[in-house]
Amino acid sequence: MKNLKTVTTKQIKFLCLLISLLSLHTFAQRRRLGGACNRESWTTTRGNTFELFQTSGENGCATVYAVGSAREVDGSWSSLSRNGNILIRESKRNSPSVNDNISYDISLSQLDGNSFHGGYGWSQNASGALDGTVEWYIVQGYNNISNPTFGMINTGHTYSVDGGTYQVWYKDVFGAPSVYSGNDNFTQIKCVRTRSVARNSRRTLTTSRHIQEMIDNTKINGIGTLFEVSYKVEGFGTTSAANFTLDAVFPRNSGKFQTTLDKAEATQQAISVFPNPATDSFNLNLNEIENAQVTITNLLGKTIYNKVVTDSYLRLQKGSVFTPGVYLISVTDGSQNTYHTKLIIK
């Protein structure tokens, strides 16, 4: 019995030592790869780009670490200047696609003032966008929903996906910083979660679904060519402060997103509107759709026309109802297939 007790004690001591060594080894795996404070910086690893952008004179810091095979960034800032802006993001820029989902793991010890986080990207050659350029967001977390949507137009459209309900907002931006050529004109679109996620969250965003909602419910007709798919934390102004750890990956979705061309061809087979742009009147050809539910809304989400049309052809006058602007037309057939197109009235 004495020998048995001695062996057991030794085994316990050995296991305690092994656990201690493993803990030290795990801690040591968090290896610094790059980063900077008080200036812009980029670190590329695991095929992704980590970026710190800040306006002159701000105090943001971003440090990128390797944790085993994973990569993560620690970020922080506080007390920005009145017009200060700072963002820290992890991006996929090598052949990005709308079929690249965004899987993020974020831990926030601080997110104050006008600060928020979410999926993010840029695209060019986007039909209908200002100068063909789009800056898009899928906002997940914030202090107040008015922070990420300040100065934007609420389309009135909501949709549910990825465990949350989202509102669609947009505006045209003139002469502001972009990823392309310094200051540019572009259309900014934000799909904003109506309830902010918890400060410690691990979720996946279906990028293609959110972008489809942008196309269907704002002035753009397509998303064009993506520059990146990313996840970022951003802040504006004197009240903004943040401290966090972020890791994001961008797994390719096996599903096929309907491209702008696919969508245009499918719609053209079902409905067409002419002339477009229109000045006095316009015609909607329903191409033999029977008992079509036709709904026309403006970009604020207000319904201008909503009727069941039994004919295959509809003619409407501009009148006092259709003022100059962009309108969204949706047509639902008897099988509940819905087709979308847009009308411009000058």
CA 146 to chain centre: 17
Sites in the chain below the pLDDT cut of 70? 1-28, 255-270
Q: Are 231 and 102 in contact (CB under 8 A)?
A: yes
Cα–Cα distances in angstroms (integers) from residue 15 to residues 9, 75, 146, 153, in the given order = 10, 37, 54, 62
Boundaries of every domain in the chain: 28-249, 261-345
Q: What is the pTM for the complete model shown? A: 0.74
CATH number of 261-345: 2.60.40.3080
Q: Are 185 and 133 in contact (CB under 8 A)?
A: yes
Residues 6+ apart with CB under 8 A from 138: 102, 118, 119, 120, 166, 190, 191, 205, 207, 210
Kindly report the backbone phi and psi dihedral angles of residue 132, in degrees, each rounded to the nearest multiple of 5, phi listed first: 70, 15
CA separation for the pair 346, 341 (Å, rounded):
17
Q: What is the pLDDT of residue 339?
A: 81
Residues 184-220 pLDDT 10s: 999 999 999 999 999 999 999 999 999 999 998 888 8
Residues 55-70 pLDDT 10s: 888 999 999 999 888 8
CATH number of 28-249: 2.60.120.180
